[in-house]
Amino acid sequence: MNCIGIDVSHKELVVVVSVKGKTRKAKTFQNTPAGFKSIIQIASKLKGNVKVCLEATGVYHFDLTIALSYAEGVEVMVINPKISSNFAKVLMSRSKTDAIDAEILAIYAERMPFEAWERPADEYITLRVFSRRIASLNKLKTQTKNQLHALVSTAETPQLVVDQVEELIKVLEKQIENQRLAAIALIKQHSALLNAFVLVTSIKGIADASAIQILAELMILPKEMSAKQWVAHAGLDPRIFQSGSSVEKKPRISKAGNKYIRQAIYMPALVSTRFEPHVKGYYSHMINDNGLKKMQAICAVMRKLLHAIHGMLKANKRFDGERFYKFPAEVIHS
């Protein structure tokens, strides 16, 4: 059996090949399309089918997984990092390096039941490309606007510089609009996407722009993922730090996940706390009854919205405020 373990990081991919139980020396590649191609070439030189195992590492593993899924004779398995960590303990691995982690993943693929990763539909992947590009353009537009503010704050800035920066902002806004229109057109061409879009926008606070960002990140996730797993994937799960009887820090969101989901759900959470009565009620409940600060309450709303969207898509039902938060009897009668 031929197995490959890949330790994924932001910039690098550490690869270990195992042939008939014997692991080879680790090789390192860039986490880029060129690096993906090199890894596929290694797999193609091995005889028979190749099983590749890697961890779900936020957003850094996805493009590699897509590239491997198109390679002939290659099967991909994506596992939870906690699983590989526990497996390393079973192997009594005392050291931790990228090369060792990749070797453990190769051994896992060889010894444990192999669950092949299912590639998302092409339209979901395309929507994600549009969404990520829109996010990048929005970030660039914000930076450019900040630069413009600094430039016009001094009389020393030539008018030509101001004019060109203002022109650049208009170009960015036009590109964002074009990307958004293309994303909407794509959604309308596919019934599953369109249905999800209609359901998500039934929540007051989620308009077209936010719906594109949210669906682009959620629709590519495995269908069997639970709402709690969505929350953890978004890095919105609370991280508790406690040690002994004297060390206990305040819980904070882990942020160990997909930042694009957090960014996509943040503004809808803010808007819905103003215009959706039941979300507003839940937000007030978190502050007044649970003693949360405003930012903590917003994070709680973000988590709750993810749970709501998960249920809506699974049950194929529009947003129901009563299910999101039910007002106490005394509030209803007052």
What is the tens place of the pLDDT at every residue in 167-179?
999 999 999 999 9
Tokens of 82: 């906690």
Q: What is the pLDDT of residue 92?
A: 87
- pLDDT per residue as tens digits for the range 35-51: 999 999 999 999 888 99
Q: Is the dihedral of CA 105, 29, 257, 77 positive or negative?
A: negative
- Work out the pLDDT band at 247, boundaries 50, 70, 90: very low
Per-residue pLDDT averaged across 143-155, rounded? 95
| Of 275, 273, 272, 277, nearest in space to 287 by CA | 273
Q: What was the pLDDT predicted at 81?
A: 83
Taking CB atoms within 8 Å and a gap of at least 24, the contacts of 280-285 are 281/325, 281/327, 281/331, 282/324, 282/325, 285/325
Task: Give yes or no for residue 248 having a pLDDT over 60.
Answer: no
Burial (Cβ within 10 Å: 0-12, 13-18, ≥19) of residue 290? exposed
- Position 239: which residue type? R
Confidence of residue 222 (pLDDT cuts 50, 70, 90): confident
Q: Give the per-residue pLDDT at 332.
A: 53
pLDDT value of residue 279? 96
* pLDDT given for residue 132 in this prediction: 92
Q: What value does the mean pLDDT of the chain take?
A: 90
Residue 1 pLDDT? 82
State the DSSP string of 12-61: EEEEEEEETTEEPPPEEEESSHHHHHHHHHHHHTSSS-EEEEEE--TTTT
Decide: 19 and 107 in contact? Cβ < 8 Å.
no
**How deeply is 212 buried, as exposed, middle or buried, from its count of CB atoms within 10 A (0-12, 13-18, 19+)?**
buried
pLDDT at residue number 94:
80
Q: What is the pLDDT of residue 242?
A: 42
Whether the per-residue pLDDT at 280 is higher than 50: the answer is yes
Residue 314 has pLDDT above 50, yes or no: yes
pLDDT tens for 88-105 read: 999 888 888 999 999 999
> Would you state the pLDDT for residue 240?
46
Are the C-beta atoms of residues 201 and 208 closer than 8 Å to each other?
yes
Cβ(233)–Cβ(225) under 8 Å? yes
Angle in degrees, 0-180, between the axes of helices 159-189 and 122-152, rounded to the nearest 10: 160
Q: What is the pLDDT of residue 96?
A: 86
DSSP β-bridge partners for residue 81: none
- Specify the pLDDT at position 95: 83
Percent of the chain with pLDDT over 90: 72
pLDDT of residue 236: 86
Nearest partner of 29 among 47, 46, 17, judged by Cα: 17
Domains of the chain: 2-111 (3.30.420.40), 122-189 (1.20.120), 214-333 (no CATH)
| Mean pLDDT, rounded, for 215-241 | 83
Report the run of H or E that residue 283 belongs to, with start and end: helix 277-288
Query: Is the pTM of the predicted complex or chain greater than 0.85?
Result: no
Which pLDDT score, from 0 to 100, does residue 250 have?
57
Distance CA 266, CA 208 (A): 15
pLDDT at 227: 92
**Residue-level pLDDT at 137:** 97
Q: For residue range 282-306, what is the model confidence (pLDDT) as tens digits?
A: 999 999 999 999 999 999 999 999 9
- Assess whether pLDDT exceeds 50 at residue 310: yes
The stretch 306-311 carries a mean pLDDT of 96
Q: Which of 55-64, 134-143, 195-204, 324-333 has the least mean pLDDT? A: 324-333
